[in-house]
């Protein structure tokens, strides 16, 4: 007896089904949360690579340790100004890629 074929799904199909269609409020919120999580993990990895504590990084940036902790744990309370200061304190290069209706703009 032949086994039935297993249907496979793309990540986009799974997101559409379980999170919401692309462009929906639910999907936009999910994508935003995911971006903030990735950003927080990048900051934490860079801080640890430089052997800095959250307190030491906070002093370089001019914020409390708790603010660094919130940023690293993907809390959405950080301003873009604070995030930029964090990257400067970590001596990290920051590049922006922006897409406008299928057209990418890259700023360095």
Structure tokens at 26: 């639910």
Model pTM?
0.71
Residue with tokens 């001596």: 91
* pLDDT tens digit sequence for 74-98: 766 788 888 889 999 999 887 777 7
* pLDDT tens digit sequence for 15-56: 999 999 988 999 888 888 888 888 899 999 999 999 999 999
Round to the nearest angstrom and report the end-to-end CA distance of the chain: 60
Which position has the higher pLDDT, 4 or 52? 52
Assigned CATH class of 11-107: mainly alpha
Distance CA 31, CA 19 (A): 10
Q: What does the pLDDT read at residue 107?
A: 60
Q: What does the pLDDT read at residue 95?
A: 77
Q: Where are the domains of the chain?
A: 11-107
Cβ neighbours around 17 below 10 Å, total: 10
Give the chain's length. Answer: 108
């Amino acid at each position: 007896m032949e086994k039935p074929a297993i249907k496979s799904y793309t990540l986009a199909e799974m997101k559409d089904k379980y999170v919401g269609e692309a462009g929906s409020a639910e999907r936009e919120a999910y994508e935003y949360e995911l971006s903030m999580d990735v950003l927080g993990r990048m900051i934490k990895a860079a801080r640890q690579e430089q052997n800095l504590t959250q307190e030491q990084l906070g002093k370089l940036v001019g914020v409390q340790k708790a603010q660094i902790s919130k940023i690293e744990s993907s809390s959405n309370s950080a301003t873009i100004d604070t995030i930029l200061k964090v990257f400067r304190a970590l001596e990290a290069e920051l590049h922006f890629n922006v897409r406008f209706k299928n057209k990418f703009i890259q700023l360095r």
